[in-house]
Structure 1
Amino acid sequence: MDELKLRNVHLQQVQNQIRHKTDGLSSSTLVLRRGQPFTILINYDGRPFDPLKDKLFFRIVLGPLSEEVPVSVSGQPSPSQWSAILERRVPDPNAGRTLTVSLYSPASSSVGVYTLHLRVETRGSIKSHVLGQFTLLCNPWCQADSVFLQSEDLRNEYIRNDFGLLFKGSPGNVASRPWSFDQYEKGILDICMKLLQLSPQSQADARKDLLNRNSPVYIGRVISAMVNCQDDKGVLMGNWSGKYNDGVNPSTWSGSADILWKWSETQFSPVRYGQCWVFAAVMCTVMRALGIPTRVVTNFNSAHDTNANMVIEEYYSEKGEKLPIGRDSVWNFHVWVESWMKRPDLDGDYDGWQVLDPTPQETSAGMYRCGPAAVKAVYEQKVSAPYDVPFVYAEVNADLRRIIIRDGKILATSVDKDIVGALICTKRPGPAMLMLDITSEYKTEMDKMPFMFRSDARGGGGTTERFARSGEGANGRGVLQGIGVSLQLVKAPVVGENISFIVKIINNMAIPKLLRKYVNAQNKEYNHNPTGTFWEAHDDLTIGPNETVTVKHEISFNNYMLNEVREDCLVNLAVVIEDVKSQERVLVSEEFNISSPALNIQIQNESSVIINTQQFATVTFTNPFNVAVSGDLIVVGSGLLEEKVQMRLTIQPRETMRRPIRFIPRMTGAKMLHASLVLTYRSTVLRGFKTVTVQAA
């Protein structure tokens, strides 16, 4: 009888990837999740397979690591090592003979690109065959995997969803902007695997690196460092200077694919430029692609405590101008990611969400990276827990000390224990594009200590101490002896409108007071101190016994329009009230963003968008400015548009532009169409988005 002869081996890429929920991920290899079997078909000619005479062995190769796996005809798979079981032998007179084999990977397998070999041993010969490669990812659907997530809805949100919202602005006027994570775009998964391969850990000791890649804690730490380029061949270079002539303004990125493609196409040269939300969004893409549940998180009023004393000091002039003094700072917002994983390296129950921050701020064990820091450890103030819990704890809990100075002399101080970490949020799971407040996951609801206000009279003299409720004297409200002061915006500012705000002064004493009022508005970038003053007002006023005085101010659109329409530019508004007789002072301040006008997207026949069928959308925008604006309209949509749509526009004052967009969906499920108008001379980006549910044919 003819000898058994291998004809071909079918890795069943389509069927396996559907079962492993990796369908849609674009790779040059089969894509699988660990801890879950996959099947291959072995077609052969000749005599029937005889398990007593014929032996099959798989060899699983990952770099310098390899494991031989004999195919057994019965038994149970091993939870700790690779195993292979012959499922059935099906003779087919039309297609020769076929064997179906299930391969089982342990749930603790290393993430990486494997090569699969098959050795066939018969009495007459031994022949080896290279079957191809497969990429193995973490598996949040597998209970034994350290990234297992119980809820199917959350797995879909934090692994399979390829778009989301990033939150920016200020706690009182949160601005959301869409982002396309793009993990299904062409070649993105392969680029993510290359990112692991190019890490300093892999270059220094490939064997050790591959063994460690069984742990999402290790992977998160590697990716946190590799998304920035400070220590390695990382993806993004940071730039907060406002000058981007030799690269891309961070505000113009709308998704991760363009960044990762550019990194790969330039032989892994860093992409210019990123800021915190770009670093975080790209890391979210990589982690989701690797199978680790991840979400993007914004911390409003985020402290950068460079000297680890848990106090951030800010300095103001006696006229309310914020001064560029000191290394510590409070960012109006800072964006990082959280990834879901077990923490067997920590004593106690610290499984769950872990902070990972790829923005290069401080080094961790010699490299610019941060985390994973267990959110529960931050909440419990367990600052001894690795990794970088003290730094994250300070970002959400540091005290803010505001100081009024003149000629190097301190005139007044206030301490606020509430403003840092005022709001911590992420996108709410599900189709609705809404915000989820997760502040309580980081911070306890314990009673806050009262802040202390100290005003030093000019010319030496003694000091007086006053206590008030938490937050007074620092942000929005304040007191000096017998005088209460508050600052309040009339409404959330919008580009094209005046900024209206009210200063309220209350005299709680039975004597009149002569006061001097200074009001100051400065441009401010979200991550550091303000630049110059663009508007100010000052006057003297007398307030009667037990009287309340309300003063309304307006900053006209013309005052701020040339400075304040950039997407990430904010306003620092401060009021200093001085008691002329005692020369005591109180400072109240408010930092806020000015909302940009939005583009509108409408989908024709929105309720019946069908895969592989041409659809139509319309992008509209009304120019609110009193001058014409020019710029590039860019429309993207992962799974909807093969290529971005780009066109040059000029829009006259108050004119409404309408542009039709054709698209053909190529994936079912929830998708996002995202339009941005990049204005030429204002260095700003106006945005709009629309979620689309694509149905099967």
Structure 2
Amino acid sequence: MSYCNVNILSVDMRCRENNSAHRTWEIDLERLIVRRGQSFSISVLLSQRLRGCNLGLDLHVGKREEVVISVKKEKCSASDWWFTERYACNEVLLTLYSPADAIIGPYRLAVTLSGPDGRVLDTKAMTKFHLLYNPWCKDDVVYLPDENWIQEYVMNENGIIYMGTWNNITSRRWNFGQFEDNIMDICFEILDYSNEALRDFKKDLCQRADPVYVSRIITAMVNCNRDRGLLEGCWEEPYTDGKAPYRWTGSVDILRRWSESCAKPVKYGQCWVFSGLAVTVLRCLGIPTRPITNYESAHDTDGNLSLDILLNENMEVVKERRSDSTWNFHCWVESWMRRLDLPQGNDGWQVLDPTPQELSDGTFRCGPCPVRAIKEGNLDVKYDAPFVFAEVNADVIHWIVRKNGERQKIKVCEDCIGRNISTKSIFGNRREDITLQYKYPEGSKKEREVYEKAKRAIRDESPDRQEQTQVVVNIKHEKLVFGADAELVVEVTNQGQKTADISLSLAAEAQTYNCIRLGVLQKETKQISVQANQVHKEVVRVPYKDYVKYISGQQNIKLTTLLQAQGVTKPIMAVCKLAPIMPKIKVDIDGKICRRRRSSCSISFTNPLKVPLRGGVFTVEGAGLLASTKVKVNGEIAPGHQVSAKLNFQPMRCGIRKLLVDFFSDGLRDMKGNATLNVRKF
């Protein structure tokens, strides 16, 4: 039988079998998606039994085939692609082995049939497949040894992002949706639109084997500053030409809008939205990632590891060209990987911050920075360690700027920054506090040693310690439900043996969660006398009608007190932030939920305000359930009245799913609700 008559009839990529083995079936079952460092099999059907001929495989990577890889017939080194053959009549089963450090992305496979003399007899048109990182592979630098961690940090399409204030923590459900239709393709599209890819695509392509490089690119591309990134940030109303940041409930809609608009940035986002997007993209690519929230998060603009907060004599913040600030909370992400580019001891969780705050190598991004390096004060490691260290461990120094320009230091706080650092637990929907992964206990000797070590690294002196006084001021409050009046109690305690005559100044203002001032709510100065060993209480009430002018989403009320006691050289200061709690939406699921069958849910809430609501809109979405869908409320919702809506949907994927609901109106915004569904096959 002549080998010249043999032809390649077809190539079967065995997508369902391979995708199931590689845990990518959630992404797609109709096209091949595999993970590096793990073998997969394809079948080649020939016109007749193969005798005297050879099959060859070539891989083409890149839009213009910038990288071509010849797949070897035996393993020569750990970085080689290679394959084995098994024959059954005129069918050949090929098992391909990818290296654990292979380039991720779309590949095209060419199967070539050649004779003994090397002459090409037939070539099958190239077939596409995708390669992802592999957290199950011990040789992959993103390897995670704990299956529970992988299920949470790679496979979970739903999560919780924490918000609020350090003493009133709230949470927001987020639909990461990394396995929704076309999301993987959009993730690779994001890489293709990066500045690095546009500048030198082949060089960029070759570096996509490295999750340190890829995560750094993603961190830059999630925001749109100085590139063709996903999302434009905006921290103040109005959002009329886009969507308010607090109205997003997931990443999928943002990613699709960006892709459909040919890489025009979507409007608008803030830190939790940037964080949610980064989690989606990195998990989709196979990098274990989790959202992190840091309360009382420092933004150190001058890199001296301390925040200098300047106040004038009217207790108004003095803004300089680049002012330090403290955010109520700030969200970033952590990704798990080995750091082969750093000395030992820097593997594990790496901080990545996609919110555009400071430049890193000329681009608005931050990280990856090892969490271990932050805890030990090692600021010389890549990337952006001083900035991350300050976010969780800076000292805060308050200054009074007198009318003559003289500055007086009035307060130094060594334990204000980096509180209750939070992420979702792998064991359910509860919060896990990971503060001690970032720093030693506040007030401990080790914590101060690390801080002093970090200060020496940047050659800056430590701030003076706060002097002790016999007059102490504290601010207390109950939780504030949006629609009720706010009430705060200022307690001035005289611990001395003589009566204290005090000038007490109070200033309440509305501000965004990242300290942008929106407006003054109250301001007054009064003279008080506090007897020895007694407590004086001042009640500050802020009516709903006053704060509603400024507060609708993640804004808050900030109360600053400044008192000057006779015989005390420095003013005494206390600050409190109070964020209103929004009402919850009730979501009920009607009956048993089965895949590809019509299902329904009921959504309702009662208007808690004393005014009617107009222009009400529910937005509903859920990974594997339905794309972002709007349900309009007809007419106005009277005070105390309940509004309800019913929505039909058809689940596309089985398993435990989350349905997320947002409500928006003229008087109530940032209202959320959710329900957990178990979608069955039958």
1:239 & 1:642 partners in 2: Cα distance? Answer: 25
Equivalent AA in structure 2 for residue 396 of structure 1 = V
Cα deviation code 1:180-219 (max 9, x no counterpart): 1121222111111111122222222222212211110011
Extract unaligned runs of 5+ from structure 2.
450-463
Extract unaligned runs of 5+ from structure 1.
92-96, 451-464, 469-478
Q: Is the 8 A contact 1:627 1:652 kept in 2?
A: yes
Question: Which position in structure 1 is the counterpart of 2:108?
Answer: 115
Q: Is 2:342 the counterpart of 1:355?
A: no
Q: Is 2:266 the counterpart of 1:276?
A: no
Q: By how many angstroms is 1:107 displaced? A: 0.6
Question: Which position in structure 1 is the counterpart of 2:25?
Answer: 23
Question: Which position in structure 2 is the counterpart of 1:624?
Answer: 608
Q: By how many angstroms is 1:466 displaced? A: 8.7
1:271 & 1:584 partners in 2: Cα distance? Answer: 48
SS in 1 for 2:391: helix
Paired residues for 1:594-609 under 5 Å:
594-605=580-591, 608-609=592-593
Q: Is 2:195 the counterpart of 1:193?
A: no
Q: By how many angstroms is 1:155 displaced? A: 0.8
1:250 & 1:625 partners in 2: Cα distance? Answer: 23
1:673 & 1:255 partners in 2: Cα distance? Answer: 11
Equivalent AA in structure 2 for residue 505 of structure 1 = V
Select between 534-543 and 686-695 the one with higher mean Cα deviation.
534-543
Q: Is 2:411 the counterpart of 1:426?
A: no
Q: By how many angstroms is 1:438 displaced? A: 0.9
SS in 2 for 1:60: strand
Select between 76-85 and 105-114 the one with higher mean Cα deviation.
76-85
Select between 146-155 and 28-37 the one with higher mean Cα deviation.
28-37
Cα deviation code 1:349-383 (max 9, x no counterpart): 21111011111111111222111101111111110
Question: Which position in structure 2 is the counterpart of 1:471?
Answer: none
Equivalent AA in structure 2 for residue 174 of structure 1 = I
Question: Which position in structure 2 is the counterpart of 1:656?
Answer: 642
Question: Which position in structure 1 is the counterpart of 2:671?
Answer: 686
| Residue in structure 1 matching 2:142, options 147, 159, 167 | 147
Cα deviation code 1:9-65 (max 9, x no counterpart): 11111211111111121598521111111111111222x223xx1200000111311
Q: Is 2:527 the counterpart of 1:554?
A: no
1:277 & 1:323 partners in 2: Cα distance? Answer: 27
Cα deviation code 1:290-342 (max 9, x no counterpart): 11111111111111111111111113344544444561111111111111101
* 1:315–1:646 Cα change, 3 Å: same
SS in 2 for 1:353: strand
Question: Which position in structure 2 is the counterpart of 1:369?
Answer: 365
1:525 & 1:365 partners in 2: Cα distance? Answer: 29
Paired residues for 1:284-323 under 5 Å:
284-318=279-313, 320-323=315-318
1:189 & 1:221 partners in 2: Cα distance? Answer: 18
Q: Is the 8 A contact 1:397 1:420 kept in 2?
A: yes
Paired residues for 1:313-462 under 5 Å:
313-318=308-313, 320-325=315-320, 327-407=323-403, 408-410=405-407, 413-430=410-427, 432-445=428-441, 446-447=444-445
Q: Is the 8 A contact 1:27 1:186 kept in 2?
A: no
Question: Which position in structure 1 is the counterpart of 2:487?
Answer: 500
Q: By how many angstroms is 1:517 displaced? A: 2.2
Q: By how many angstroms is 1:541 displaced? A: 2.3
Question: Which position in structure 2 is the counterpart of 1:168?
Answer: 163
* 1:5–1:492 Cα change, 3 Å: same
Q: By how many angstroms is 1:267 displaced? A: 1.3
Select between 533-542 and 204-213 the one with higher mean Cα deviation.
533-542
Q: Is the 8 A contact 1:276 1:335 kept in 2?
A: yes
| Residue in structure 2 matching 1:589, options 569, 575, 591 | 575
Question: Which position in structure 1 is the counterpart of 2:81?
Answer: 82
2:178 & 2:483 partners in 1: Cα distance? Answer: 37
Question: Which position in structure 1 is the counterpart of 2:471?
Answer: 483
1:295 & 1:639 partners in 2: Cα distance? Answer: 20
SS in 1 for 2:517: coil
Equivalent AA in structure 1 for residue 411 of structure 2 = S
Q: By how many angstroms is 1:284 displaced? A: 1.2
Q: Is the 8 A contact 1:516 1:540 kept in 2?
A: yes
* 1:59–1:628 Cα change, 3 Å: same
Select between 517-526 and 399-408 the one with higher mean Cα deviation.
399-408
Q: Is 2:27 the counterpart of 1:34?
A: no
SS in 2 for 1:81: coil
Equivalent AA in structure 2 for residue 687 of structure 1 = K
Q: Is the 8 A contact 2:112 2:120 kept in 1?
A: no
1:180 & 1:641 partners in 2: Cα distance? Answer: 11
TM-score, normalised to structure 2's length? 0.91
Equivalent AA in structure 1 for residue 670 of structure 2 = V
Q: By how many angstroms is 1:642 displaced? A: 4.8
Q: Is the 8 A contact 2:10 2:124 kept in 1?
A: no
Question: Which position in structure 1 is the counterpart of 2:453?
Answer: none
Question: Which position in structure 2 is the counterpart of 1:102?
Answer: 95
Q: Is 2:70 the counterpart of 1:68?
A: yes
* 1:248–1:27 Cα change, 3 Å: farther
Q: Is the 8 A contact 1:672 1:692 kept in 2?
A: yes
Q: By how many angstroms is 1:385 displaced? A: 0.4
Equivalent AA in structure 2 for residue 89 of structure 1 = Y
Q: Is the 8 A contact 1:324 1:530 kept in 2?
A: no
1:506 & 1:369 partners in 2: Cα distance? Answer: 45
How many residues are matched?
654
Root mean square deviation of aligned Cα = 2.3
Question: Which position in structure 1 is the counterpart of 2:562?
Answer: 576
Cα deviation code 1:605-650 (max 9, x no counterpart): 4xx5332333332211111110011221111112112552422343
Question: Which position in structure 2 is the counterpart of 1:474?
Answer: none
| Residue in structure 2 matching 1:515, options 470, 492, 502 | 502
Question: Which position in structure 1 is the counterpart of 2:201?
Answer: 206
* 1:570–1:38 Cα change, 3 Å: same
Q: By how many angstroms is 1:154 displaced? A: 1.0
1:526 & 1:466 partners in 2: Cα distance? Answer: 28
SS in 2 for 1:148: coil
Question: Which position in structure 2 is the counterpart of 1:94?
Answer: none
1:356 & 1:310 partners in 2: Cα distance? Answer: 19
Question: Which position in structure 2 is the counterpart of 1:639?
Answer: 624
TM-score, normalised to structure 1's length? 0.89
Cα deviation code 1:487-526 (max 9, x no counterpart): 111x221112222222222222222222232222100111
Q: By how many angstroms is 1:425 displaced? A: 1.0
2:521 & 2:106 partners in 1: Cα distance? Answer: 56
Name the one with the larger strand percent. 1
Paired residues for 1:126-145 under 5 Å:
126-145=121-140
Question: Which position in structure 2 is the counterpart of 1:610?
Answer: 594
Cα deviation code 1:69-89 (max 9, x no counterpart): 24x4xx668632001111x32
Question: Which position in structure 2 is the counterpart of 1:157?
Answer: 152
* 1:125–1:597 Cα change, 3 Å: closer
1:226 & 1:585 partners in 2: Cα distance? Answer: 45
Q: By how many angstroms is 1:156 displaced? A: 1.2
